[in-house]
Chains A and B, each alone.
Chain A
């Protein structure tokens, strides 16, 4: 599904953020990406989102070869992905329902389908009853669940979350993480960047450790590497 072959990323200022990544992720896998700050985790996500282009190597996601993907096709590629950020990035003036619906409107989904699908997705992320609230009326954990619902709106194959629990309290974090696991069980490939040692250990999933632009460890079964 996702294939990094000797992927390097240098930013225009010369920083080598990734120095040769080889990583294969199968369809339906759940992967934690961990590592110290500045290791290159966000850069890895940005390459997947085609927000940044790789400098060398080869990166493919499904049928898309990201080193050759033209700008006009990027929006269509992005519809295969759902993305969640640390800072939620919701529309403050739209309700919960509208925030999720917007992702569908953007890609031209008929209204009737939106009306049926949004409540179902909100149900998946345990947000029934909140659909008419505005983002500032709900908790951080709930806002992040709205973001998660939005990421799911267009039924993507892959969910990418960059430190989704970075801005919310631990109890809520557990809920977000368990939702991501649940979404993975529904058949989606899920990649989660996180710092939260306890959560990573608790879920015993595949862990990819990054440090200084390289993968230093890649194993299944949790156990946050204490050395790093």
Chain B
């Protein structure tokens, strides 16, 4: 029966980490930066999306009917909208529903009731493509009984553009930092392997398998990944709380996710990414032994 001692592999991994302390530290520093940047951008993009959702800016047009339109006319308007191009869904918001929504959001409307409801019926249209909105806008204006088409395309496009810009910078950062991280981890592990080349050659002579030889280094890579992800988590937490505080006090119109609500995603996301990067770096530098 074969039995391997797990502490052997873990012990070897830590020995390697400390033996080449400077390189290990460099790996951890770079990987931590990578994770903080990835986390930062992801949180930024997520928050932009949350705000877009909240403002109803994502692919939505609201049309208001003539306040004097009869129920029949309104039904006709709804049908007419449904027949147009580039429409994903149409939702009818009656004047009563509209009022309820208003009341829920702003308490200054408390004294308004159904009798003196100033709101017209409206339709919330979710469309498919931004490019075709001017056309849709025009067609909506042609429908009889529609008083106003609330088209926030300009703002939506601007925010979309900003988001796209952020994503572009993000992708480049990701690529560059990712390559640098993997490169440094590869070299850290190579150094670790090199300083033990004699031991490895003895292990090969006595019949150690590639996995037996490589496992300590794979664990070493994983430990680099875990340490980096924990460090990145606390750094991200600190930075995000600072921004959160700023947004809450100075930019009340913008909503921001609370870190406490997303900490789990951040933490496990970092740990996962960190381990994958660390282990990948190890495996690349060990390919020779693993094949053998």
Nearest to B5 among chain A residues (CB) is A105
Is there an interface contact between B292 and A74, defined as CB atoms closer than 8 Å? yes
Is there an interface contact between B205 and A71, defined as CB atoms closer than 8 Å? no
Contacts of A111 in B (CB 8 A): 3, 5
Smallest CB separation, B203 vs chain A (Å): 6
Contacts of A78 in B (CB 8 A): 204-207
Residue A179 at the chain B interface, CB threshold 8 Å: no
Is there an interface contact between B206 and A76, defined as CB atoms closer than 8 Å? no
Is there an interface contact between B1 and A76, defined as CB atoms closer than 8 Å? no
Partner of A71, one of B2, B199, B292: B292
Is there an interface contact between B212 and A89, defined as CB atoms closer than 8 Å? no
Residue A199 at the chain B interface, CB threshold 8 Å: no
Smallest CB separation, B190 vs chain A (Å): 20
Cα–Cα distance between A134 and B4 once the two chains are bound (Å): 24
Residue B210 at the chain A interface, CB threshold 8 Å: yes
Nearest to A94 among chain B residues (CB) is B199
Is there an interface contact between A108 and B204, defined as CB atoms closer than 8 Å? no
A47-98: which have CB < 8 Å to B? 49, 71-72, 74-79, 83, 89, 91
Nearest to A83 among chain B residues (CB) is B205
Nearest to B206 among chain A residues (CB) is A103
Is there an interface contact between B202 and A75, defined as CB atoms closer than 8 Å? no
Question: Which range holds the interface residue count of chain A?
Answer: 20 to 34
Residue A209 at the chain B interface, CB threshold 8 Å: no
Cα–Cα distance between A89 and B208 once the two chains are bound (Å): 16
Nearest to B3 among chain A residues (CB) is A110
Cα–Cα distance between A13 and B199 once the two chains are bound (Å): 27
Is there an interface contact between A75 and B209, defined as CB atoms closer than 8 Å? yes
Cα–Cα distance between A105 and B199 once the two chains are bound (Å): 14
Contacts of B158 in A (CB 8 A): none
Partner of B206, one of A71, A72, A106: A106
Nearest to A91 among chain B residues (CB) is B199
Is there an interface contact between A108 and B4, defined as CB atoms closer than 8 Å? yes
Nearest to B4 among chain A residues (CB) is A108
Contacts of B172 in A (CB 8 A): none
Residue A150 at the chain B interface, CB threshold 8 Å: yes
B3-29: which have CB < 8 Å to A? 3-5, 8
Residue A189 at the chain B interface, CB threshold 8 Å: no
Residue A153 at the chain B interface, CB threshold 8 Å: yes
Partner of B207, one of A71, A106, A110: A106
Contacts of B3 in A (CB 8 A): 108-111
Is there an interface contact between B2 and A75, defined as CB atoms closer than 8 Å? no
Residue B198 at the chain A interface, CB threshold 8 Å: yes
Residue A154 at the chain B interface, CB threshold 8 Å: yes
Contacts of A76 in B (CB 8 A): 207, 209
Contacts A91-B199, A106-B212 known; A154 to B5 CB distance under 8 Å? no
Is there an interface contact between B204 and A91, defined as CB atoms closer than 8 Å? no
Smallest CB separation, A153 vs chain B (Å): 7
Is there an interface contact between A108 and B205, defined as CB atoms closer than 8 Å? no
Residue B83 at the chain A interface, CB threshold 8 Å: no
Residue A115 at the chain B interface, CB threshold 8 Å: no
Cα–Cα distance between A153 and B202 once the two chains are bound (Å): 13
Cα–Cα distance between A98 and B40 once the two chains are bound (Å): 49
B206-222: which have CB < 8 Å to A? 206-210, 212
Contacts of A71 in B (CB 8 A): 291-292
Cα–Cα distance between A103 and B291 once the two chains are bound (Å): 21
Nearest to B208 among chain A residues (CB) is A106
Contacts A71-B292, A91-B199 known; A79 to B5 CB distance under 8 Å? no
Chain B 167-202 interface 0/1 with A at a Cβ cutoff of 8 Å (1 = within): 000000000000000000000000000000011011
Cα–Cα distance between A200 and B199 once the two chains are bound (Å): 32
Smallest CB separation, A87 vs chain B (Å): 10
Partner of B2, one of A83, A102, A108: A108
Contacts of B5 in A (CB 8 A): 105, 111
Contacts of B292 in A (CB 8 A): 71, 74
Contacts of A91 in B (CB 8 A): 199, 202
Nearest to B209 among chain A residues (CB) is A75
Cα–Cα distance between A78 and B207 once the two chains are bound (Å): 5
Nearest to A73 among chain B residues (CB) is B209
23 residue pairs from A and B, CB less than 8 Å apart: A49-B205, A72-B209, A74-B292, A75-B204, A75-B208, A75-B209, A75-B212, A78-B205, A78-B206, A79-B206, A89-B205, A91-B199, A91-B202, A102-B206, A105-B4, A105-B5, A105-B8, A106-B207, A106-B212, A107-B2, A107-B207, A108-B3, A110-B1
Chain A positions near chain B (C-beta within 8 angstroms)? 49, 71-72, 74-79, 83, 89, 91, 102-103, 105-111, 150, 153-154
